[in-house]
Structure 1
């Protein structure tokens, strides 16, 4: 026989041995499959395999159950001579009724009955019994007075003796229900592995005479190994037979059981033995009852009988609602899975759906990142857009012309401010910084490079004004006159340009005449000087500015006073350059009612003589101390101009003059000022004097009032009397209508930063 044939024979031999081993294993295992005809219930007790009723219905002889007829036609199962109550495959236990050992007093002989004092807990199970008393679920219990109960295992391999003593005092009322701690009842644990068929129980009464026993009124004592959970001590057990009668001398006990004598590892290796764990979804566990052997149980997620093929079935855990109320349960083979709503995460430790912190943080961070990205992109786009808008505003407002001129005229003291600079200077246009409000804008006090300034936010401008704004700013910036507020600069990168003037801190001429200083009765000569300074400023605008400038809103509220009470003409919001053609007619009349030129209101053409008319109204305020227009009283008395012209026509000037003026000055001076005012208020503009003629006339009239050296000293004294030296932060105000104080409030103070103007 050659080598190849030998190899073939060797392979065939190995295959044959393998098949033989499989057949042996299958045949050995097949002996454990119960017959389908086996009875699986006796009375109300289920008898699952490996237990069985009848031949070849159980795993081995120790698991045979007999079903015996009972009372009322109900059958009862018995195992090892004990009535079987139930079988647990999961816990590998059975419950049986275990005999109680009594020790009773005999009334007929008045002696102790020793015959019932000892019980052998034996059975008809052979020495290889699979049952052991459960040391976890049972306790040795003794009931009685002065009674010693003992129990022991008479197996020579594991001899054991233990017990407990139950004591009673003279007063049985000391015992309490549900307390088995030595007073009338005692309990003690039993050792692991105590055999079911080799336990002896003894009850020993320690009282010597029947008289002493009678004194307790107690007849019997008891000892039993029973299920701890089924026992609940009552004091009536001591002096009655209630404990015995409840179970007819028997008490439930729990027995552990196991299969065979080998461990799981040994049985699995032994091909000739019968492995009892037949179900494919079962597991083998070594016995923990103190004896050799093993038990079977279904794998996790399965339930049923692990001792028969396919006996372990998948458990639908979702029927028991193991998941949180807001979760969803999905059954799987041998297990289940809980899922939670979006945004929540299942927590196995406490079986709850908690907020998914990781998901929330991730989504939040992603959202924040997206928002930051969008915000940054939006900010960049807005900055670019704003920059373009500012550049467009700068171009429209003549900024390029300004810069070109500033380069060519190096001595030009004019600054083009950025919007950010003016925001910072005025603390973001804080309301507390407002020093004036009117129809042409709002004036704020600001600080630029440690220098106080007045920042004016103008109202909307028409297209013509926007086109000419740069040129007009150049002209205004070149005006340098002591009686005109200096324009320091402007801001062109906003929709409506902002103007920056020098800051004049000491109030207005309106306040000096009508406001808080009225009670001082300012000398007429001082007011006349201030009026002349106003005329000088207007004369400069009309005659020396190139091109000439028409103020357009001359009034006492726009005449500021510096530290020396020198007049400063301010607020050029309504100003225009002297018209050079017919196209420069205004489409909307601007100014303040009471000061407006009637001819201007009719023709909508602003001229130099319009400023003259307004100055005439100022002269009336100096002469009369009254406001130009009253909103109360008789209608014919509301206009100061009408009252004055009527008084002049009737040659009754004293009706409108202030009383203190007639006391201070000569009638010739007063009459001269009145005639000058009348000429300024002429309805026809061409008949009105020019500002040059007005300044010359005022200069002449002032010389008539007093000698020059006396005049100078008087004015210095008057300056000290004024409140011009007080700290005040008022700036010129503007409006189209003025509401003046009522007579009863004429002597009250007025807030320098407030305005009596209704826009």
Structure 2
């Protein structure tokens, strides 16, 4: 059977091993910097073998308040914290301080009586700038049938402890400290004071442990710095009085942000920075990257540049250039690399010249041959692709229009230069082009898309326009079918869109009433032609002022037939997904999905209202967002003059404006059966246009106008319109036109 000293060794081994369990980190090393000179001038740099860097100090004026170190006659540094606590070492940059701290003990004689030199409890007063490190320290209790306690006196009081039991040396486990022979407990952050208490638990049935473990201990310690000896527990049981403890120190009770505004901010050295303490309130100082020294001093001992180039082993292979806070490496001109030992270093460039030359020539010839073969391949593939697009876009079915090559259109548009853009839409961009014969054209280039519906929309526009020949419909001159989406070539209409002339900035009131009626008559005539006179009827489906172009003479040209559809002669309409522009959309089409020629009549009615009012179909400034609804409310309530544009009111007579408003109201009827046909609309507008030409009402005053109206009698605009077209509408509220 093993002797009891052997069992004591097992118990002590358990305590030593608790360092690995309690804190996996290694203990902070003692400072090895040149701390001897990190003091204020004329101050004592050491006490014994312990360096005392500022803000610590020994003599008056050599330390920051709260950081005084005392040095006794035998050159032992200590802190006066209600008792002399020996200082073992100060780590300036780590913010730690190692001291030897007292141990609470309770030893028994072999007969079980208490030893006279017992210290069963210890009280530690508040520390000012120091806290017991929760990273390195742990509470430890050692012994058999031992209970150890630790608690704090502060407001945030904590109380903890552990129990260590062993009835015989044989049950003490190896390589662990789990409560049998020794136990351990963590401590909290921000611990500035504590009390210790250790006591032996009386056990009359198992008194034998006095013979192999007569003492019980409780202490706070940096377990990585404990060094046990068997004599601590046997021959000189009462001489083991202290254990190493690591303190966290900081400039207390302020964060970096709070301290920077104070006059006594501690980080005074240039090239230093402040970091908050990791153990409760407080902060520390450190030197910036590339600097070393004491960040608490504002002199030559403060943070100074590290000359990396003066090191015994330079970080550079060849040339080292020290800079403020950093360094750089370079190579001679005949070498290449980053010049760093931990990088690519410096390598001779001469040895790779011949290899580079040979490889370069080989690559040159290889690239030349590959490029030539690739050029031939691309040219062949481009020809095949053009032919594919040509056939896909139905080129063989359209011999009646001019087919442009992609090269011709690129040259005409200066390779689609941004300065040539006439307008942009959701599906494409229109460019101004000039052919070699100096004829100006408009090129509609689609945005590249994988959506077959968009491709079909361009093909559909070619299909529609190739069947139409009307002076008020923009003329399709040709197309290019060699691209993924066909490009369309139109006659150039130079005067912009009708929307620009009605709503453009600074353009309000630029069109006379006569011009407005004439333009609306021309648009109505074009739509009437599409609905009735074309070889196959066409429904435009997107009639709006932005799709009406004006030439030099302000002659209207209807454009953009991408959404249009050819209607078989035996059908009145078609069903499709809702397409169109909000504000112009036929409500009946929106509800049923069936569009007819009456859908175009509704959209034209909105265009006519735009011309009369000068307002946009949808605008946030309007009381109601839909212009058609707002117009009908004003007409039905006898407030037509309130919504008409000022120039229109000035130039029109009450009868003329009433006739135009009446026509617009019929076009905007919610029931498509109540709307007139487009040819009827065209005839009525043509009559109104002729009447304004023969009788320029804007040149007479109210009395003359009233006299003239009384003379023409049945030849008034309303009479002419109702005589020329046999159409009926619901009774309207009388219009009150006030000059």
Same fold judged by TM-score > 0.5?
A: no
Q: Which has the larger radius of gyration?
A: 1
- The structure with higher relative contact order (CA 8 Å, sep 6+) is 1
When normalised by structure 2's length, the TM-score is 0.45
